[in-house]
Structure 1
Amino acid sequence: MSQSPEQWLLEAFTAHARAPEYVDPLSQICHGLVNARRDEQMLPWADKGLALDPLHRSFVHARARALRLQGRHAEAAATWIAHQALPWSPLFCEARIGRDLYLSGETGRAIEYLEAALRDHPADRSRDAQKARKWLAEALLSLGDLRGFIPWLARNHGDSGSYRHAEVPMWSGQRDLRGERVLVTHQMGYGDQFLLFASVRQWLDAGAEIMLTCDHAIHDLVQASLPECTVLGVTRPLTVGAPLPHDALEGVTSFAPTLQATLLHLPLLAADDSPRPQPYFGAFLRAPEAARERARAWSQALRARESGKRLVGLFWDCVQRHSREIGAKERCWAGLRSVPLAQVERLTTDTALTREVHFVSLHHPAAELVHGTPRGALGHYGPGIASFADTAACIEQLDAVVSVDAVAANLSAMLGKPTAVLVNATGEWRWGHTGAGTPWMSEATVLRQAQMGEWHDVISRAIGWLLRR
């Protein structure tokens, strides 16, 4: 019977305790932590390994990975740079240096570094080259540089699953789409779809008829928001170039597309427009009418009960951080984006604020049961949040939203609601690089950490933002 990851770890720990001067048990501990999805705990073991063998590439990798998962990106970049001379495969080390420089806030340096590395390997199509292009793209996009959308397409061949309908050609950049019937297939997460589907309007204006695929969970919301399009709910693709699912083929065949585009292609159509669209991703979402009716009745009753107060949606925790069933990268990133309950309660219990504001939780009830509920002036959406259509309908009835960097922030901004986005020191490219604005959306105010993990000042600024409104 094969060993469990925990049994493997226990044996490796025991071997290390018996022979701390040997490298192999330390290497086994690092591998065991990866298998147990506890990668962020590798740092002390990688440091012990490097003390014994300073040129051991596996310990370098383990150390840099653990630092990144803990949000210590500058230290991770320094680790890679210090060991850059080791015999890595082409672009392996370069991609990671560029990534960690970008994530540490050295965006200009990261762009210079990644551009130079890719110039040295122009024909490289390896996984590391795809990673380098992805991080170059996101660094450029964080500065509002539209050139970033071109290397971002590398994700169609790398870390993002995608559909390929082999019977029609892929869009190759043509801007006159009159007479074209374009199948746009989805990928990535809900927030990415909410953001990038905003560009569908430009494709419609260029003359195209559009069929969209999207995740089943957001189908009703997307169809209500883009009534000119045919929208299919389809399982999210998990592999590159996957064939369309059988249950989608009948609808696609009936639509008879002449071109295909992926979600990543959508923002490219307007990339050469002058002047640039303002905002580049305009609010377009709209809840289905039945959900809107329920929300209107709920908000009327709540406003009568909380007379004179503004209603503000609140989303504070990324539920993935509580799951050991997903990879350490996703779990740790969710943790770095989430605000601890003690800090959230500074909003919901602030005396001056709660005289003017009544908060409404935007969390699904099952998620809130996992991560807890803050004390104070926080209520819940009466009709119940069972779908994204419900969340959208609730947000439409609010005066503003305060959210961490999560799907709720994307949803709120694309509904056109004033949104304060609480962003950690790294943040996603869509929230920009510095300051309180984003180059991509008009309704988002970015409240950014000065140092990873320090939420106190961010919450103070959120209180000020709400009191000024």
Structure 2
Amino acid sequence: MSQSAQPDLLEAFEAHARAPEDTDLLMQICETLVKARRDEQMLPWADKGLALDPKHSGFIHARGRALRLRGRHAEAAANWLAHQSLPWSPLFCEARIGRDLYLSGETQRAIEYLETALSRYPADLSRDALRARKWLAEALLSQGDTRGFTHWLERNRGDSGNYRYAEVPMWNGQRDLRGERVLVTHQMGFGDQFLLFASVRQWREAGAEILLTCDHPIHAPVQASLPGCTVLGTARPLAVSAPLPLDALDTIKAFAPTLQATLLHLPLLAAVDSPRPQPYFDAYLRAPAAARERASTWSQALRARAPGKRLIGLFWDCAQQHATEISSKDRCWAGLRSVPLAQIERLTTHPALTQEVQFVSLHHPIAELANGTPRGAVSHYGPGIASFADTAACIEQLDAVLSVDAVAANLSAMLGKPTAVLANPTGEWRWGQTGARTPWMSAATVLRQTQMGEWHDVVSCAIGWLLRG
């Protein structure tokens, strides 16, 4: 919690103690918790407010948000459904109902609900309309439906920063790209970039020459993996249609693009192919040569010390859950995806596993120092994980990877390494919704929670997956 918010919270709590039925004071507590990036703590205060004023839109909104941040999506959906008759702005309530139905596992109902709501406002480009399209996209994609990519593209108008190079037109769907020089600009997170850059192959097969931008930290492995493309590391865009950084313009002008596409455009090229690519996102990543050499030397030494054992990469904690300076949404989502250390130690101290497996931590050492290291059969990458080039090189030398729903899982799967993803019930669309397989990639096996926060059975499945080899 930010220090600046503490005096305001203390003042609001003390005032509420003196006047417990004053709804303005309860709303002040909720608003101050938002300011402090502790939105998930609003639930008891929102409930108190609704007990006093059952139709207060502010408390309804606070309750729905707090429930979602805690991973209680079915309750969040019920909260909105119970109050949808109130005079909300168009698509405000509908977007949230669809989102929480999808996140609670009622995917088909969410799709039908969002499609119906959006059909009533076909020209609406409000923030809530864009939010509704985002969640419709992710619900469709979680079922393997490529129509979702068209809806997902609307994020370029809303919640995803992106670059606009005004000198050339944006790609408008043409399939014949012979003679085109396409500037592909990046956005979103490392995992999204690792996944979606796999679609560059289809663009090159369609005849395009590609200049690709990406975040600086992933430049080395992306450049090593796409040798037929020019790859430019630059800052991530934070605003819609942001101008490209000045330090990138000379390279872009020398490339002389004829078209631009954003990261979100990439998977659309193959979206209407019949048959569709199998897998849709094919493994393509590789580590830079120098990092591979270091990793090979390290792995030979480790295998000599652990003869006959398989080397299994392990990533269990999303560091964002410990970061107080980021939004409550990102922090809480990271927490819901992370596996507690005690559950990880069921793997690293398991008697049968330790006879067959040597685990290797895939965490950056600073993050691991902050978040804890499991006891048992856990080694660390000798050359050191200082960059994604190091992580990629380490993974290439392993036999398999076990990871929570994080960038390590995307990186491993796109390296083609057998990857078991420990996913909660509302995991990213790319892992699908049911079963052990994902409709989007071949290297990933998905081990799913059936109840949010309950990792015991998932870890038991991971033990079985590892023992089956």
Aligned to 1:270: 270
Superposition deviation, residue 272 in structure 1: 1.0
Partner of 1:156: 156
Given the alignment of the two structures, is residue 142 of structure 1 paired with residue 139 of structure 2, yes or no?
no
Larger mean CA deviation between 119-128 and 4-13 belongs to 4-13
Residue 75 (1) aligns with residue 84 (2): no
Residue aligning to 2:219: 219
The one-letter code of the counterpart of 1:242 is A
Tell me which residue corresponds to 2:342.
342
Pairing of 1:117-132 with structure 2 (within 5 A): 117-132=117-132
Distance 2:444 2:105 in 1: 20
Please, which runs of 5 or more residues in structure 2 have no aligned partner? Answer: none
Within 1, Cα distance between the matches of 2:179 and 2:380? 47
Distance (whole Å) between structure 1 residues aligned to residue 182 and residue 192 of structure 2:
20
- The CA deviation string for residues 347-399 of structure 1, in whole angstroms up to 9 with x for no partner, is 00000011000000000001001100000000000000000000000000000
**Residue 249, structure 1, aligned to residue 253, structure 2:** no
Instruction: Report the equivalent of 2:86.
Output: 86
Corresponding residue for residue 239 of structure 1: 239
Match for residue 419 of structure 1?
Answer: 419
2:180 counterpart of 1:209: no
Aligned to 1:307, what secondary structure does the other structure show?
Answer: coil
Q: Distance in 1 between matches of 2:435 and 2:14?
A: 50
- Shift of the alpha carbon at 1:72? 0.1
The answer to whether residue 423 in structure 2 is matched with residue 432 in structure 1 is no
1:238 shift after superposition: 0.2
Which string of whole-angstrom CA distances, capped at 9 and with x for unpartnered residues, describes residues 35-68 of structure 1? 0011000000000000010110000000000000
C-alpha deviation, 1:4, in angstroms: 2.4
3-state SS of the aligned residue for 2:401? strand
- Rounded to whole Å, the distance in 1 between the matches of 2:38 and 2:138 is 27
The equivalent of 2:104 in structure 1 is 104
Give me the whole-angstrom Cα distance separating, in 2, the residues matched to 1:390 and 1:376. 23
In the alignment, what sits opposite 1:449?
Answer: 449
Q: TM-score if structure 2 supplies the norm length?
A: 0.99
The alpha-carbon deviation at position 18 of structure 1 amounts to 0.2
- Number of residues paired by the alignment? 467
SS at match of 2:148: helix
How far the C-alpha of 1:119 sits from its partner, in A, is: 0.0
1:229-274 CA-partner distances (Å, limit 9, x unpaired): 0000010000000000000000000000000000000000011111
Cα distance in 2 between the residues matched to 1:320 and 1:80: 28
Output the CA distance in 2 between the equivalents of 1:286 and 1:425.
Answer: 30
Q: CA deviation at 1:21?
A: 1.3
Q: Distance in 2 between matches of 1:295 and 1:38?
A: 41
Q: 1:364-383 maps to which residues of 2 (within 5 A)?
A: 364-383=364-383
Q: Please tell me the residue identity of whatever aligns with 1:81.
A: L
Q: Distance in 2 between matches of 1:7 and 1:435?
A: 49
SS of 2:213 mapped into structure 1: strand
CA offsets per residue over residues 427-454 of structure 1, 9 Å max, x none?
0000001111000000000000000000
Aligned to 2:446, the other structure's residue is in SS state: strand
Counterpart-to-counterpart distance in 2, 1:267 and 1:320:
28
Percent of counterpart pairs with the same letter? 80
Find the aligned partners of 1:410 and 1:301 in 2 and give their Cα distance: 27
**Residue 22 of structure 1: how far off its partner (Å):** 1.1
Structure 2 residue aligned with 1:24: 24
Shift of 1:425: 1.3
SS, match of residue 261 in structure 2? strand
Displacement over 6 Å in runs of 4+: none
Letter in 1 for 2:240: V
Q: Distance in 1 between matches of 2:213 and 2:143?
A: 30
Q: Deviations over 1:83-112 (max 9, x none)?
A: 101110000000000000000000000000
Q: What do you get for the CA RMSD once the two structures are aligned?
A: 0.6
Which residue type is aligned with residue 83 of structure 2?
Answer: H
How far apart, CA to CA, are the structure 2 residues paired with 1:147 and 1:316? 32
Q: How far apart are the structure 2 equivalents of 1:199 and 1:346?
A: 38
Give, in whole Å, the separation in 1 of the partners of 2:96 and 2:393: 41
Secondary structure in 2 matching 1:214:
strand
**Counterparts of 1:4 and 1:418, CA distance in 2:** 47
Aligned-partner SS, 1:342: helix
CA distance in 2: counterparts of 1:282 and 1:358, whole angstroms: 28
Question: What is aligned with 1:305?
Answer: 305
The alpha carbon displacement at 1:310 in A equals 0.2
Structure 1: distance between partners of 2:10 and 2:83: 30
Equivalent AA in structure 1 for residue 394 of structure 2: C
Kindly state the Cα deviation for residue 5 of structure 1 after the two structures are TM-superposed.
1.1
For the residues of structure 2 that align with 1:299 and 1:69, how far apart are their CA atoms?
40
Distance 1:328 1:319 in 2: 13
Q: TM-score, normalised by structure 1?
A: 0.99
